[in-house]
Amino acid sequence: MPKTEVPVQKNEYYDLTFEDLTHEGAGVAKVQGFPIFVQNVLPGESAKVKIIKVKKGFAFGRLMALTEESPERVEAPCPIYKECGGCQLQHLSYKGQLDFKQKQVENVLSRIGKLDLDRITVHPTLGMNDPWNYRNKAQVPVGEREGALVAGFYQQRSHEIIDMQKCLIQQAENDDVVQAVKEICSRRGIRAYKEETHKGWLRHIMVRYGQVSGEMMVVFVTRTNDFPHKTEIIEEITSRFGQVKSIVQNINIKRTNVIFGDETNVLWGEEYIYDSIGDIRFAISARSFYQVNPEQTKVLYDKALEYAELTGEETVIDAYCGIGTISLFLAQKAKKVYGVEIVPEAIEDAKRNAELNGLNNAEFGVGEAEVVIPNWYKQGIKADTIVVDPPRKGCDEALLKTILDMKPKRVVYVSCNPGTLARDLQVLEQGGYETVEVQPVDMFPQTMHCEAVAKIVLKEETDA
Ligand code: SAH
């Protein structure tokens, strides 16, 4: 096979100009179409690069010197930015981040979705006024160093846990509780779980904070279902933090890097904490999905509601509904809402939340959206509007097919992965729908994560 197919060579130097970023935040430059990935460079920048690894379809390079710097480059404020890897964009100005996310959505819509950007508006990303300290959930792996517990993040490409005192995108309340739990447990001789030996006990600490209610939940993820020094540890946490309303233990006996196990027990207080988004109050239990950026969640849901254009007469389906957050937003303006979600605890929360808010026009079903919605359709449930908010892998094909059969007038697609959004929009477009506009909303400032909501209408409606 001719070697000339790869246009760069290991240990050689090249002058490159960067066009894009990978999902991990590395700069992407191309040499005769062949992609080179380099850390710590931004789109629009040029640099001298040494090639350090050549693979079949791409290569990795090391930044030797920047020859042209982006005007949007800034000093990353976090001292552990490079080691942590949790944020990827701190060295890009916030305006630069918002522009980048808008462009990213445009790029995938045209490249993956083959959609015509002349007829679809991709709006500028809606960002935060203060894009720091926004996360309402901390979830940290626990390890040991010199006899004491440490908790924070895995050093990149290793299983070593680096201790973190403070995270700049985390709400300070969460950092405080994580620090205290670590210290209290350390003092009581609690041992951290060790992946290599599958011994030890404490695997993860999760803390959730209801920004509006001020209520907090602490979750201990442990290898076994015992709890050494339980009474003393609980007593110390609750006496120091009056906001803690719920302490929960999740048991994960498996040798796995999946965080949670199947069994969850309340150790103290409530099974859930409360929080509000807009006028709606939510009960949130340990295993339920709840958006991590409360301020931007309101922005996102308001946009979804606007795109749904409800008059009060519609039947709406909310697929991938979690604890019914979007469903209940919609229920305020629709005749009837059906929500579906795969996690049974989340559906329990959703039902409780409908009751809590006096919304008796919402009904919820447990199961895979791609199974439950086709069944509903067979039973004669027909939606005027369908809202989908799937995980990163996007909508299942069977669900898209049911949407095409059911022909709701509107589809509102809330997406945390522009790539799968673009793929699914293409299917809907080929089936008679038209994407009208897409609004990126910055739910995850300082990171590469990009959220967007799309308004899609059935074509006959616009042709009529
Ligand atoms: N709309 C909610 C949740 C969105 S996150 C909110 O904004 O809070 C996506 C949700 O999809 C998660 O709750 C996850 O448990 C659920 N999920 C994942 N795969 C699913 C499937 N095949 N069918 C239904 N729900 C699924």
Q: What is the CATH classification number for the domain harbouring 403?
A: 3.40.50.150
C-alpha of residue 54 to centroid of ligand 1, in Å: 38
Is 279 assigned to a binding site? no
Averaged pLDDT score across all residues of the chain: 95
Partnered with residue 36 across adjacent β-strands are: 29, 59
Q: Is residue 181 part of a domain?
A: yes
Kindly state the average pLDDT of the residues 317-346: 96
- Tell which phi-psi region holds residue 32, choosing left (phi > 0), alpha (psi between -120 and 50) or beta: left
Q: How far apart are CA 81 and CA 236, in angstroms?
A: 32
Partners of residue 425 on adjacent β-strands: none
Compute, in angstroms, the gap from residue 144 CA to the centroid of ligand 1. 34
Say which CATH number the domain at 271 has: 2.40.50.1070
% of the chain beyond a pLDDT of 70: 98
Domain assignment of residue 82, yes or no: no
pLDDT tens digit sequence for 269-286: 999 999 999 999 999 999
Write the pLDDT tens digit of every residue in 171-201.
Answer: 999 999 999 999 999 999 999 999 899 999 9
Cα 389 to ligand 1 centre (Å): 7
CA distance 109 to 121: 11
Residues with CB under 6 A from ligand 1: 289, 291, 320-322, 325-326, 340-343, 346, 368-370, 389, 391
On whether both 239 and 378 belong to a single domain, the answer is: no
Residue 82: C-alpha distances to residues 18, 41, 100 (Å): 20, 13, 20
Query: Which tens digit of pLDDT belongs to each residue from 353-408?
Result: 999 999 999 999 999 999 999 999 999 999 999 999 999 999 999 999 999 999 99
**The pLDDT value given to residue 4:** 55
Q: Are residues 315 and 173 in the same domain?
A: no
Regarding whether 268 and 379 lie in a shared domain, the answer is: no
**Mutation to probe ligand 1, out of 258, 289, 329, 451 (largest number of atoms < 8 A from CB):** 289
pLDDT surpassing 70 at residue 3: no
Question: How many A from CA of 396 to the centre of ligand 1?
Answer: 12
**SS3 of residue 369 by DSSP:** helix
416 part of the active site: yes
Q: Is residue 450 part of a domain?
A: yes
Q: Is residue 194 part of a domain?
A: yes
Residues 343 and 253 in one domain: no
Res 158: pLDDT: 78
Statement to judge: residues 156 and 105 lie in one domain: no
Tell me the per-residue pLDDT of 239-252, one tens digit each, with 9 for 90 and over: 999 999 999 999 99
The pLDDT assigned to 382 comes to 96
Question: Is 341 annotated as a binding-site member?
Answer: yes
* pLDDT tops 80 at residue 2: no
Are 244 and 372 members of one domain? no
Does residue 464 carry a pLDDT above 50?
Answer: no
Residue type, 441: V
285 found inside a domain: no
- Non-local CB neighbours of 292 within 8 Å, separated by 6+ positions: 134, 135, 136, 137, 443, 444
Residues spanned by the domain of 167: 137-277
| 286 falls within a domain | no
Q: Which of 84, 87, 416, 450 is catalytic?
A: 416
- Which residue has the CA at smallest separation from atom 3 of ligand 1? 322
Phi, psi of 180 (to 5 degrees): -65, -45
Are residues 332 and 316 both part of a single domain?
Answer: yes
pLDDT in tens, 96-142: 999 999 999 999 999 999 999 999 999 999 999 999 999 999 999 99
122 lies in the same domain as 149: no
Using CA positions, which residue lies closest to atom 13 of ligand 1? 322
Instruction: Indicate the residue among 249, 277, 305 that finishes a domain.
Output: 277
Residues 158 and 268 in one domain: yes
Q: State whether 125 and 175 are in the same domain.
A: no
328 contacts 353 by C-beta, under 8 angstroms: yes
Domain boundary among 277, 304, 323: 277
With a cut of 80, say whether residue 157 has pLDDT above it.
no
Residue nearest to atom 10 of ligand 1 (CA): 320
Q: Which of 275, 320, 371 to mutate to test the pocket of ligand 1 (most atoms within 8 A of CB)?
A: 320
The tally of domains found in the chain comes to: 3
Tell me the C-alpha distance between 447 and 401, whole Å.
33
> Where is average pLDDT lowest: 29-38, 152-161, 233-242?
152-161
Q: Which residue of 303, 342, 372 sits with most ligand 1 atoms within 8 Å of its CB, as the best mutation to test the pocket?
A: 342
pLDDT of 338 > 50? The answer is: yes
Domain boundary among 235, 253, 277: 277
**241, part of any domain:** yes
What does the alpha-carbon distance between residue 6 and residue 235 come to, in Å, rounded to a whole number?
63
CA of 259 from ligand 1 middle (Å) equals 17
Instruction: List, for residues 393-418, the tens digit of each pLDDT value.
Output: 999 999 999 999 999 999 999 999 99
- pLDDT bin (cut points 50, 70, 90) of residue 95 is very high
Same domain, 146 and 38: no
Give the relative orientation of helices 369-378 and 397-406 as an angle to the nearest 10 degrees.
30
d(C-alpha 162, C-alpha 209), whole Å: 23
Please report which confidence band the pLDDT of residue 5 belongs to, taking 50, 70 and 90 as the band edges.
confident
The residue whose C-alpha atom lies closest to atom 11 belonging to ligand 1 is 320
Q: How confident is the model at residue 1 (pLDDT cuts 50, 70, 90)?
A: very low
Residue 89 inside a domain? The answer is no
Q: Are residues 330 and 354 in the same domain?
A: yes
Closest by alpha carbon to 318, among 329, 302, 310, 307? 329
Binning pLDDT at 50, 70 and 90, where does residue 155 land? confident
For ligand 1, atom 1, which residue shows the shortest CA distance?
321
